[in-house]
Amino acid sequence: MAEAEVLYSDVKFTREKGNTGTASSPAEVTYSEVRLSKTQPCTGLPGSQQQQPVLNGRSKVPSERVALGVVSVLLAAAVIALGLIAHKNMELSQTLTERDAVARNLTEQYSKVKSCNTVQPTFPNPTDMKMNEPYQKCEEGWELHGGKCYYFSTDRLPWELSRHQCIAQHGDLVKIDSREEQTFLEQKLREKMNDAEDKFWIGLTDSQTEGTWLWVDGSPLDTSLTFWLSGNPDNWEGEDLDGEDCVRMGERGGARELNCWFDKSCKVPHRRICEKQITAAHLKCV
């Protein structure tokens, strides 16, 4: 319970004396001390209305509301700032990922271009080559022509062994399918032959049935597409009693009308022409 506030005051009372027949006498003065108390209202009693504290003449409640509002605004600003930072981080991460992808792509393209600079192109005009388009390529030592690869050997072997060597190189003795192909081979052999007998085996034989000429893939010789030198084939047995069952070709000084096929004993060593399909690649030079 709150203490009472005590106030003190002096009160002066006068009292007249009774009439005694004497002259009037002055009034009798009496002093009395009066104590008044002022009690603070009880704040702890139930049901009593508590008076709001006053600071500098203003209520304290509006100040608390203002402070709470400021805190709320600051929290909202912090949430927005964090959201913006998270968004920026996502954009930065995506940008870095895209940059890394571009860098990898550029590295791959550089490697391809570098490879082009170190490998001899097989095209007659390398400036016509474009990026990311498949092109035809032959292994080292093989020559490209008409979608095929050709190998002109320097060693000499009988026909059967010559064929085995071609097969070991993933090809076979050449099969001539067109006049254009015969022209290419005939012109090449002019440059490669050292003398008149320095001829090359091709993949044509009648060793199974005399007079029935077959290519190495088992297909019969097209009689409308032959390039026999006049007088051939003659199956001459003067060198080999088994006759001449294999075909060689070539004229060092050039063949008239491309006719430079000769039947010969399969046991005689000769150089050979191997043929195989090209390998497809996607590396392009620019």
pLDDT value, residue 148? 96
Average pLDDT of the residues of the chain: 79
Distance CA 275, CA 172 (A): 6
Supply the pTM of this predicted model. 0.55
Q: What is the mean pLDDT of residues 45-74?
A: 63
Q: What is the mean pLDDT of residues 227-240?
A: 96
Q: What is the mean pLDDT of residues 157-170?
A: 98
Higher pLDDT, 108 or 276: 276
pLDDT band at residue 5 under the 50/70/90 scheme: low
What are the angstrom distances between the C-alpha of 284 and each of 19, 51, 74, 102, 107? 149, 93, 61, 19, 15
Q: Does domain 126-281 fall into CATH 3.10.100.10?
A: yes
pLDDT in tens, 243-259: 999 999 999 999 999 99
pLDDT band at residue 137 under the 50/70/90 scheme: confident
pLDDT value, residue 219? 98
Higher pLDDT, 52 or 141: 141
Counting residues of the chain whose pLDDT is more than 70, the rounded percentage is: 66
Question: Does residue 1 surpass a pLDDT of 70?
Answer: no
pLDDT in tens, 85-114: 877 777 777 777 877 787 787 777 656 655
User: Under 8 Å CB-to-CB from 205, ≥6 apart: which residues?
Assistant: 159, 213, 214, 216, 245, 246, 247, 266
